[in-house]
Structure 1
């Protein structure tokens, strides 16, 4: 099979198009023939900082395709079914930047009767991260679904990013009022297309003042892409029992939080990394995101604020670079091209 691999850490130049044996599913696993692969920041960060195993590493946590074969203990009825794949390369050598990958059955989730491989490949890390961010506060439930956030207000810092877009779509599905911050009119259009109820351009407007107009008592959840830059703002807009969920590291930056001001509302400041989150939270996240997919509540594309940038498999290095350079929207790899 054709696969992108790297045998040493480094820049995108270490990625090579190779011909490798097709992996075989072991007990409890499925073999998925991939159509699209998603590219996330953790892909290029892992490639840069982590020494791969002796056989090399196929990058890519997320993808979508069709189940081709099953291992012992897996019902053969899933063969031929369209699925979305998550965490394919987490502590495993077979990522999604290849014609095939092997994952445990629970990491290949049915896409439903009218599958979109573009949507499936875009789910994984961004949507599971967004789900976790939306469910960490004491004033919100640990499940996301229709009506679960009725009466709640969610602030999405960075509403035009992949996780920001996922948070907006999921929160609106759950009936929350969503405020999104952006850095340009173009990004404002994308956040509004995703479903944000209110959009604030932080370069042109006072975020605290604008948020307080919408939520005088403060917001219930902050989905935070840049905690080091936004902590002072977040501290001023949290409501009673609110939660700030930080899912990006700003290149190792540190966060300063005004302690007394956060004690009064009993605010929570949480750190989010899908790969190591509690198992129950991960199971719930997959279930809820898939329910949103089957409900038709989440989509991808320009019309929902998530432009797609698709690269052929041979140009996976360029796809990695696009994500590292901050491409607005979702970067995918067409594994069939």
Structure 2
């Protein structure tokens, strides 16, 4: 099979190689998926670059990157229902704590990590469900229903934020979002946000409270926890929740503990790779329902050939994109 590999950390162009490897075979409890589309996420890029704190060398001698992907089950291992052969699926955690991910023609992995892809959903969308899709669903719905609640989505034009707005709106929430630049502000509105504000505005907290008539926000989906801690503390409701999935601009934030404590705020720090079995099953069911309803629209910035994997990594690393970066296998 054709696959992208790396055996050391470094710039994408220097370490990513296209090579031919033996086809894998499914072990007991596994399925073999012929990958049609591989999704490239920031976590894949950081792992290849060696930018995770304390990690000095790759955890495996040879790595095929990428955790997200979509394709068709080609074979099954012992203990797996043979009727799954031919099933369209999307993949989660393809390369999480495993050597071989989805940047290859074939991947063998536990059958529960290959989820049925609804007939009305493309492989391109399927390749964005594992990390961006599940993160958005868990961030919005992980604490329960949000119908008639006010949800703030920080960074509403980003890949996760744009989906989170749609998830919240489709689930009956009143949605407020932040973004920057006319195009991104418009994208957040089109996704379903009733009010959208520039996240760099010094009056952001006041603007949000003016939009709600002074009522605090029930749930905040946060991409920059540290940078926005003070604003969020002002606007969050008593017993509200801040569901944070990132803090890249301030990785060691000072926490306004007592103001948050006296509101009994819940801080929900999300790492989608390690959801419990129950959490993942619930989030997957919720996302499948939204997909079948046609409630989610996914944006793709670029679809490149597998051989252009280094270019795809650089595009993601630059941050200059308005949707998923995908590889066609």
TM-score range relative to shorter protein = over 0.9
Matching residue of 1:121:
127
Deviations 1:47-93 (A, max 9, x none): 12253355411101101111111111111111111111111001112
Deviations 1:289-325 (A, max 9, x none): 122222222121xxxxx34321211111111111111
Deviations 1:164-209 (A, max 9, x none): 0121111112111111100111111111222222111123572112
CA RMSD of aligned residues (A): 1.7
Once superposed, which parts of structure 1, at least 4 consecutive aligned residues long, lie more than 4 Å away? none
CA contact (8 A) 2:39 2:128 kept: yes
How much does 1:213 deviate? 2.1
Matching residue of 2:139:
133
Matching residue of 2:304:
311
Between stretches 18-27 and 108-117, larger displacement belongs to: 108-117
- What SS is found at the alignment partner of 1:58? coil
How much does 1:149 deviate? 1.7
Gaps of 5+ in 2: none
Between stretches 195-204 and 27-36, larger displacement belongs to: 195-204
Gaps of 5+ in 1: 142-147, 301-305
Question: Could you tell me which of 148, 152, 156 is aligned with 2:149?
Answer: 152
Matching residue of 2:204:
207
- What TM-score, normalized to structure 1? 0.90
Cα 1:21–1:330 change in 2 (3 A) is farther
The alignment status of 1:37 with 2:43, answered yes or no, reads no
CA contact (8 A) 1:97 1:333 kept: no
Matching residue of 1:22:
23
Matching residue of 1:226:
224
The alignment status of 1:325 with 2:318, answered yes or no, reads yes
- What TM-score, normalized to structure 2? 0.92
CA contact (8 A) 1:109 1:290 kept: no
Matching residue of 2:193:
196
CA contact (8 A) 2:28 2:79 kept: yes
Matching residue of 2:296:
298
